[in-house]
Chain A
Amino acid sequence: MDSQIKAIPEYTQTVEAQELTFAYSTNVGSDVLAVDHVSFSVKKGEYVAILGRNGSGKSTLAKMINLLEYPDSGKYKVFELSANDEENFWTIRSNCGMVFQNPDNQIVGTTVEEDVAFGPENLSVPLPELALRVEKALGYVGLLEHAKKQPSAMSGGQKQRLAIAGVLAMEPELLILDESTSMLDPKARDEFLHLVSRMRQDKHITVLHITHDMHEAFLADRVIVLEKGKLRVEGTPSEVFSQVDLIRELGLELPKWAELLWEVGKLTGHEIPRSAFTSEKEAIKTITEILSERKELSAPPARTARKVPDQVMLRVKNLAHSYDKKEKKTISDISFDLKKGEIVAVIGHSGSGKTTLISHLNGILRPLEGQVEIWDEEEKKYITTDKNTEIKKIRRHVGLLFQYPEYQLFEETVAKDIMFGPKKMGYSEEEAKKLMMESLPLVGLSEDVLERSPFELSGGQKRRVAFAGILAMNPDVLILDEPAAGLDPVGQKEIFGYIETLRDQGKSIVLVSHDMDKAAQIADRILVLKHGRQTFFGTPRELFSEQSDYLSMRLDCPLLMRTMKELKKTFPYADELEFDVERAAESLVFGGREVTDA
């Protein structure tokens, strides 16, 4: 086998592809083009981001490069070797490393070091070089002290670093990242990206990065955007993202600073130059120039503040829990309340006790210490979730949707799956059906999915079905654990749209989120957990105000706030505690000036 892997001759082009096309057949019969006549190239040492909605053909395109998929037509070269030529198969593949989305599903080894060794073992690397490569790779990603451990005991971030080590040990020329950061929390994501940029510097590795995160896209030298298998735009991040309308049409979003820039332009009627989209710094400069001009403006749009009724739906008092009596408490001293039509966001790093806390809210865990009270609208009194309360009674009021809930679908049809919950709650077939029909439009599902199998739907559709399954139980209080995780920007936006509608209809929502910008924007109040302790409970404004010590809670401030704080230095009236882009832009444009009502 060794003879099949040859040394790569000197090259300057990592990928050169012409008219690549890949079709897959559907059960309807007609073929669908996953990749449709795509031509592109990647230079040696370049960092290229591939963007596009889920199902736009990004992964298929990437997998063709290391020959995990073969094009139906089109010619391409990788490392200037013809990829259509079978002779180059192992040479090309052995020089490409790929890190996938799900950390768990790419670890082969029973121990960390065995997993790193897997690639080089397959490449017939002999001892002692093999052991040396493993040690070096583990050292590089900072996992050397975990070498003998079981991978399953590690965090998501560590697992993805392990995957990188496994790739590094193969000493590849090209690193393909297939949404590798999408399941990581912000801290782990930063570490991962830092590691990748270090590898580019030290090892001059070429990177092809499929991502939904626009801040990541800005790290790239060049961006390629796919839509339905076709290459739509290509260029430097600023070239691509300055075409704001097109970007939105393609289902992408802008980084927060670019959104702010765009809004300011819109409010003042300024054309934004392309160069302003190069970086956050450029954007701030441009905004400053625009605002200094002080053009004549019409009045800002009138806004009415949303009123939250005073009825407390859920009250947690001094809640504490430990899984093992001898061990430290997983959570302790948690006290908060949730009002009707209110959103409370729970934030905290992985392992801060978020899952333990929300498990208490619908009776999966009964409180050992402290109390959870739920308002019963019919009987006009509070019920507690202690051992004596019937579980069904609790779950009629509180619905809980766990992270990646599409895994909980099990029935033959979507309709049966959605009705499972309501029927278990004791509703009759007819009532359950009625509840199901009411829940469908709330999550943007149409009736024609009802008789289909949930397993043949797309990821985003499955997520909605699972969501509908909880809504159909008609709870007053919804607990949502990272409801938008892993979806593309459009999918995320839609889910948060549904959440806002539900809130406006009077549902009370506890939202667990990693996304600080989203939490600050959507939540009425925020609960911060750190090592199982509640370190803050109050409005987003209070949390991020000067007086608060959110930094000591090791929280990152929202990205929008970071940009606004910079601008505040020049424009003291800038409201950096406004977490909605439109309103933040309004504070900049209309702040500090007398607006004469026309």
Chain B
Amino acid sequence: MMKDVSIGRYVNGDSVLHKLDPRVKVILFVVYMASIFMARSPVALMATFAVVFFMALLSRINFIEILKSVRPIIFIMAFIFVINIFTIRSGDELWRWKFLVITTGGVENAVLLACRLLLLILATSLLLSLTTTPLKFADALESLGSPLKVLHVPVNEMAMTISIALRFIPTLVEETDKIMKAQSSRGAEYDTGNIFQRAQGYVTVLVPLFVSAFKRAEELAVAMDARCYKGGVGKTKLHPLRMKGSDYLWFVILTVVAFLPLAVDFLWKMK
């Protein structure tokens, strides 16, 4: 029942976006975030949508699959939209009912914010979650964070921690499932009974899960010691991140593309 839990929603593929160096993707993500927040006019927003559409084509992932990543935030989007539309009062009044007022400014702001949020999620999905494995993402953070080593930030160790956490998610999910079955055989309740009984039900799962996680951690530490782990010092890498010519090229292309909407907007206003 819990087998399909996965971290991120990586979709296998070998498109340009899949192959792009993950560090480039992390930087591009920041660039796109900036560009999305700088787009204010309807023209700029439309152009940004076109850019995201272009990236979606580059990723060669099924559109439905891409749109699925919006699902978890639909509620938040709706919430922000409603709050904005009713609270911002500027421009002409469009509609009034008792204390609720909708103004043109409110509508503009609500649409703008909802669109930005939508664009942000789509860009994040396309650049990171859908096309980058969690491990590569951790590698990128390790590499980009390496200057922090000067400040004695344990960057390698943090990356190792993240990668081990990712490695153990499926194991712990499987274990949770096993413990739940064992405890429900003893009469523990998770989805029946009153709140108190349910809470107790979860205690019967969480305590063994923690005990076992600590045991696992201890054993894993010994196993890592046995394989000569000594932190990041002198450690080589099977798949080191290496920037290729194509990575530089796509970095430039996608950066330029990111700012196209602003240029379009600027030209539009010049007219």
Contacts and interface: CB of A to CB of B under 8 A. Distances in A.
Contacts of A127: 236-238, 240
Interface string A291-308: 000000000000000000
B187 interface: yes
A121 B133 CA distance: 21
A408 B236 contact: no
B211 A105 contact: no
B186 A104 contact: no
A395 B185 contact: yes
A108 B224 contact: yes
Contact of A96 (B171, B222, B226, B238): B226
Contacts of B133: 110
Given A121-B237, A408-B208, A421 B186 contact: yes
B77 to A, nearest CB: 32
A90 B233 CA distance: 14
B182 interface: yes
A98 B219 CA distance: 12
Contact of B181 (A100, A152, A402): A402
B235 interface: yes
B167 A2 contact: no
Contacts of B186: 408, 420-421, 424, 469-470, 473
Contacts of A420: 186-188, 204
A361 to B, nearest CB: 10
B135 A110 contact: yes
Interface in B83-137: 133-135
B246 interface: no
A410 B203 contact: yes
A113 B238 contact: yes
A98 B208 CA distance: 28
A252 interface: no
B219 A105 contact: yes
A1 to B, nearest CB: 4
Contacts, number: 152
A117 interface: yes
B223 interface: yes
A407 B228 contact: no
A537 B235 CA distance: 56
B220 A106 contact: yes
B157 interface: no
B211 to A, nearest CB: 6
A123 B233 CA distance: 10
A1 B182 contact: no
B183 interface: yes
Contacts of A90: 228
Contact of A114 (B170, B204, B238, B240): B238
Contacts of A364: 181, 184-185
Nearest to A402: B182
A410 B183 CA distance: 10
B179 interface: yes
B271 interface: no
A364 B188 CA distance: 12
B144 interface: no
B230 A407 contact: no
Nearest to B237: A121
B163 interface: yes
Contact of A110 (B167, B229, B234): B167
B226 A93 contact: yes
Contacts of A107: 167
Contacts of B244: none
B14 interface: no
B142 to A, nearest CB: 13
Nearest to A403: B178
Contacts of B174: 152
A473 B182 CA distance: 14
A105 B238 contact: no
A402 B227 contact: no
Interface in A192-241: none
Nearest to A151: B167
A565 to B, nearest CB: 39
A20 to B, nearest CB: 19
A183 interface: no
B270 interface: no
Contacts of B184: 364
A90 B225 CA distance: 11
A119 interface: yes
Nearest to A102: B219
A38 interface: no
A410 B200 CA distance: 11
B187 A166 contact: no
Contacts of B175: 407
Contacts of A93: 226, 228
Contacts of A130: 236, 238
Contacts of A98: 223, 226
Contacts of B238: 113-114, 117, 121, 127, 130-131, 134
A166 B224 CA distance: 11
Interface string B151-181: 0000000000001101100110011001101
B146 interface: no
Interface in A261-319: none
Most chain A CB within 10 A, of B163, B182, B188, is at B182
Contact of A405 (B182, B187, B219, B233): B182
Contact of B170 (A108, A152, A170, A409): A152
B225 to A, nearest CB: 6
Contact of B167 (A1, A109, A113, A424): A109
B267 interface: no
Interface in A442-470: 455, 469-470
A501 interface: no
A117 B182 CA distance: 36
A108 B208 CA distance: 22
B145 to A, nearest CB: 19
A1 B233 contact: yes
Interface in B11-30: none
Contacts of B230: 1, 122
B173 to A, nearest CB: 9
Contact of B134 (A110, A359, A409): A110
A388 B204 CA distance: 26
Most chain B CB within 10 A, of A98, A121, A364, is at A121
A424 B233 CA distance: 54
B195 interface: no
A424 B187 contact: yes
Contacts of A117: 237-238
A119 B187 contact: no
B163 A110 contact: yes
Nearest to B189: A424
Interface of B: 133-135, 163-164, 166-167, 170-171, 174-175, 178-179, 181-189, 203-204, 207-208, 211-212, 215-216, 219-220, 222-230, 233-240
Pairs A-B, 5 closest by C-beta atoms: A424-B187, A117-B238, A106-B223, A410-B207, A152-B170
14 contacts: A1-B234, A2-B234, A93-B228, A110-B166, A121-B235, A127-B240, A130-B238, A152-B174, A407-B175, A410-B211, A420-B188, A425-B187, A469-B186, A470-B186
Given A63-B222, A93-B226, A166-B227, 7 more contacts: A66-B226, A118-B227, A119-B228, A123-B228, A152-B167, A152-B174, A425-B187
